Structure 1
Amino acid sequence: MPEDKKVDKLRRKFLVSTFSLPIFSLILSKKDANHKRSFGDDFPYKARHFKNFEKIRVFSDNLIRNHLKIYQDSVASLNTLIKEINSFANSGKFSLQYYELKRRFSYDFNSVKLHEIYFESVTKDNVYLKEDWEIFKRIKRDFGSFENWKSNFTDLGMIRGVGWVALCYDKLSDKLFNIWIDENFSGILTGCKILLVMDVFEHSYQIDYGIRKKDYISTFIKVIDWRIVEKRLSE
């Protein structure tokens, strides 16, 4: 082969290898970027079982079944949202529908997580809050007494509307707060840890209590598993 043809062949080979590599890398990086926008392989969520809530005797079997079904439906709805969001993210095509799905995601995600905290927080056993527990000391320090805390927690539960009442801990200020969470997201304090939560959507009490929400709140407070609350504070 003549020398000039060898040079041309080597030049073409060099140009192909030089310019194809960045293009190939760009394709991979775009693919990776799309993948990073999706939720990955650790989804879908699975509905958990809460034997302690199922065995509690202060609520009827009908209320317990309905409440758990609403939680399971929230898990199913969350998984459907994730699948649709992933579909948009992997295609790289975004629209108003995608943004609405992302907005809805926080609603269903919080519904799942708040229900799980709620179900974990009750027990059929008689678990009384002990004065030497750290959570009791913090409640007494920040609310003056346990009775003051209970009164404030109950008053928040009587707010007209649907949502949750939560006992939260802010590590930065080292303070406890009772808060109202409107529906499933409005009112959550950024950076605060939820130690205890009470569901005050109608489905949590009306089957048994009708409009007597205060009676439901009183019953809920009696079956709080303070061991769980103490553990959450220490974690």
Structure 2
Amino acid sequence: MKHELPKLPYDYNALEPHYDEQTVRLHHDAHHKAYVDGLNNAETKLAEAREKGDFALIKHWERELAFHGSGHILHTLFWENMSPEGGGPANGQIAEEINKFFGSFDNFKKQFSAAAVAVEGSGWTLLCYNPIFKKLEILTAEKHQNLTQWGVIPLLVMDLWEHAYYLKYQNKRAAWVEAWWNLVNWEDVNKRVASCLS
């Protein structure tokens, strides 16, 4: 089965004024689509390599699989993690877990924001559940195919590649980070954490 670009769960302009329509359209229709296309191509090339028994380019296609597959997964989460009705402090089960592991929502927000602003070059900041440690972690992925802990389950992700914010925020990443908090879809995050803890 070929991977497909998922439809946005809202209109292109629904996240205004915090996330502008032009960027959302370009980010979803061009950048996210490129990851989907790259993932499909990598899987096709790997299938061809298996059929022919020719693994001369295995290193290349496995890297392409990791890069484009991770990009597709994280972008899908990114769109679902935002909502026109989002923002505000965490609520429900995720609020309890945040308080448990970070002391308060304010502590969590400050740490997550600081991590986001500090990402070197292109990358992501993620709130994850680690089922081995049985705790929440904030992680950064500067090469998104290389998460820093194996087995973590992303709950909330923020895209910090420049294409995610450059049209509106230009090089003011901290302003993008601050604006993004107005869009966080805590209902979606609660569904994700509930599936981890059930």
Superposed pair shares fold, TM > 0.5 = yes
Q: Is the 8 A contact 1:47 1:72 kept in 2?
A: yes
State the shift of 1:127 in Å. Answer: 5.2
State the shift of 1:53 in Å. Answer: 6.2
Partner of 2:43: 82
Partner amino acid, structure 1, of 2:44: K
State the shift of 1:73 in Å. Answer: 1.2
Partner of 1:157: 116
State the shift of 1:76 in Å. Answer: 0.9
Structure 1's 127 and 62: CA in aligned 2 closer, same or farther, altered over 3 A?
Answer: closer
Partner of 1:139: 98
Q: Partners in 1 of 2:168 and 2:90 — Cα distance?
A: 30
Task: Using the aligned pairs only, state the percent identity.
Answer: 22
The answer to whether the aligner puts 1:98 opposite 2:81 as a matched pair is: no
The runs of 5 or more residues in structure 1 that have no matched partner are 1-42
Q: Is the 8 A contact 1:53 1:122 kept in 2?
A: no
Give the secondary-structure state (helix, strand or coil) at the position aligned to 1:51. Answer: coil
Q: Which has the higher helix share?
A: 1
Cα deviation, 1:149-181, whole Å, max 9, x if unaligned, reads: 011101111123210000011123221110001
Equivalenced residue count is: 191
Give the secondary-structure state (helix, strand or coil) at the position aligned to 1:78. Answer: helix
Q: Partners in 2 of 1:52 and 1:128 — Cα distance?
A: 19
State the shift of 1:99 in Å. Answer: 2.4
Structure 2 length-normalised TM:
0.91
Larger Rg: 1
The answer to whether the aligner puts 1:73 opposite 2:34 as a matched pair is: yes
Partner of 2:165: 205
Q: Is the 8 A contact 1:52 1:122 kept in 2?
A: no
Structure 1 length-normalised TM:
0.77
Q: Is the 8 A contact 2:89 2:105 kept in 1?
A: no
State the shift of 1:79 in Å. Answer: 1.0
Q: Partners in 2 of 1:90 and 1:187 — Cα distance?
A: 31
Give the secondary-structure state (helix, strand or coil) at the position aligned to 2:35. Answer: helix
Q: Partners in 1 of 2:183 and 2:83 — Cα distance?
A: 6
Give the secondary-structure state (helix, strand or coil) at the position aligned to 1:141. Answer: helix
**What RMSD, in angstroms, separates the aligned Cα atoms of the two structures?**
1.5
1:229 to 160, 165, 189: 189
Higher relative contact order structure (alpha carbons within 8 Å, sequence separation ≥ 6): 2
Q: Is the 8 A contact 2:9 2:80 kept in 1?
A: no
Runs of 4+ residues deviating >6 angstroms: none
Partner of 1:124: 84
Q: Partners in 1 of 2:70 and 2:133 — Cα distance?
A: 24
Partner amino acid, structure 1, of 2:117: M
Partner amino acid, structure 2, of 1:85: L
